[in-house]
C-alpha cells in the first residue's frame, strides 16, 4: 500500500469509529433514561404506599439517600411521588413516557391542569 492510501484508510476508519461511538452513546442515554424513569416510578410507588400526612417519611428518606446524590433530595422524592400518583405503569410504557427526559416529565406535571392534559 502507498503511504497516502494508508492515511486515507485510517481517516475513513477513524470517521466510522467516531460515528459508531456517537450513535451508541445516544442509544446508551436512551436506555439509561428508560431505567431511571422506571426507577423513579418505583420509588414514587413505594413512597405513596408508606407516607402519611405529617409523618416526615419523605424527609427522612431524603436524608438517608444523600449518599446517592442530589437526584434523591426531598424535592425530587416529592416529584417521584407525584409521578407515581399521576401515571399508571401501563400509561408510562404505552405512552412512551420512559423516553421523555425526567426534567420534561416534571415540567409536564407542574404545568398541566388535568391528568388528561398530562397524558396528551
Could you report the per-residue pLDDT of 40-51, keeping only the tens digit for each? 999 999 999 887
Please check whether residue 8 lies inside any domain of the structure. Answer: no
Please check whether residue 15 lies inside any domain of the structure. Answer: no
pLDDT digits (tens, 9 = 90+) for 84-97: 998 888 888 876 77
Domain residues for the domain of 106 are 35-119
Q: pLDDT category, 2, cuts 50, 70, 90?
A: low
Please check whether residue 81 lies inside any domain of the structure. Answer: yes
26 SS3 class: helix
Please check whether residue 115 lies inside any domain of the structure. Answer: yes
Cα–Cα nearest to 46, from 75, 90, 84: 84
pLDDT value, residue 3: 57
Please check whether residue 3 lies inside any domain of the structure. Answer: no
Q: pLDDT category, 57, cuts 50, 70, 90?
A: confident
Please check whether residue 5 lies inside any domain of the structure. Answer: no
Residue 19 clears pLDDT 90, i.e. is over it: yes
Q: What is the mean pLDDT of the chain?
A: 86
Please tell me the distance from the alpha carbon of residue 13 to that of residue 9, in angstroms, as a whole number: 6
Please check whether residue 89 lies inside any domain of the structure. Answer: yes
Amino acid at each position: 500500500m502507498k503511504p497516502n492510501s494508508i492515511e486515507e484508510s485510517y481517516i475513513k476508519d477513524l470517521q466510522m469509529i467516531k460515528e459508531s461511538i456517537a450513535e451508541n452513546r445516544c442509544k446508551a442515554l436512551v436506555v439509561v433514561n428508560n431505567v431511571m424513569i422506571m426507577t423513579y416510578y418505583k420509588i414514587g410507588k413505594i413512597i405513596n404506599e408508606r407516607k402519611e400526612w405529617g409523618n416526615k417519611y419523605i424527609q427522612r428518606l431524603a436524608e438517608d439517600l444523600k449518599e446517592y446524590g442530589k437526584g434523591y433530595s426531598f424535592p425530587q422524592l416529592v416529584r417521584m411521588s407525584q409521578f407515581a400518583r399521576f401515571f399508571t405503569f401501563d400509561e408510562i410504557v404505552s405512552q412512551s413516557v420512559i423516553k421523555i427526559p425526567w426534567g420534561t416529565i416534571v415540567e409536564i406535571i407542574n404545568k398541566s391542569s388535568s391528568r388528561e392534559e398530562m397524558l396528551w
